[in-house]
Amino acid sequence: MNASASAIWVYGIGFVAQALFGLRIVIQWWQTERKGAVVSPIYFWYASLAGSTLFMIYGLLRHDPIIVVAQVLSYFIYIRNLQLKHVWMTVPVSLRAVIWCLPVGIGGLLLHSSAAGEVDAAFSGTSDWVVLAGGSGQFFLSFRFVVQLYYSEKRKVSLLPREFWIISLAGSLLVIIYAWFRSDVVLLLVQFASMFVYARNIVRLRSATVKS
């Protein structure tokens, strides 16, 4: 496979992963508009888990530890939300085992590529402040699920609080800066589109608070 074909294949995985992340936002937005309240649909979490799996693979192929490390934390929170939704145990045992072990395998492969110097090569010519922006953005996008899990565990039900959307908006802005300088069209397109939904949910939750 030549370099051009290889790049198309890698970006294809990234686009599918981001399409799944985009789909989860569309599902959440549609359900929210339909019910008139910010909700946490089951398929939001299924799409999140599938997208995270592919995005970790994309990060591995791009030799990008920022993407992989950020996804690992969110990945397990997606599983916990499926547990809170009482649907995780309906997934076949063998598939659950693969899902639990997958991040370990990807992490091992990333360490191997790092030791081979592939990670350093992928980031050569990238300014430190760009890496910092990307790392901070991905941290926010992962940390929002820690906040989400905190509120969900508190009430023992999966929910998406206002803080989740505010952190999402901040994280997206930073990732857009990172993606622009890394020429990562996959990240750029989805983060731009997602920001509108994040803002919409913040406005809806604020309106609900004012009314109450």
The pTM assigned to this predicted structure is: 0.81
What pLDDT, on a 0 to 100 scale, did the predictor assign at position 168?
Answer: 93
What pLDDT, on a 0 to 100 scale, did the predictor assign at position 177?
Answer: 87
Q: Would you say how long the chain is, in residues?
A: 212
Q: Residue ranges of the chain with pLDDT lower than 50?
A: 2, 210-212
Question: Within the chain, what is the greatest distance between any pair of CA atoms?
Answer: 60
DSSP E strands in the chain: the ranges are: none
What pLDDT, on a 0 to 100 scale, did the predictor assign at position 41?
Answer: 93
Among candidates 17, 129, 145, which has minimal Cα distance to 81? 145
What pLDDT, on a 0 to 100 scale, did the predictor assign at position 33?
Answer: 85
pLDDT (tens digit per residue) in 144-197: 999 999 999 999 999 899 999 999 999 999 888 888 887 777 778 878 888 888
Q: How far is CA 167 from CA 135, 152, 198, 204, in A?
A: 14, 16, 9, 16
Give 40's DSSP letter. -
Strand, coil or helix: 193? helix
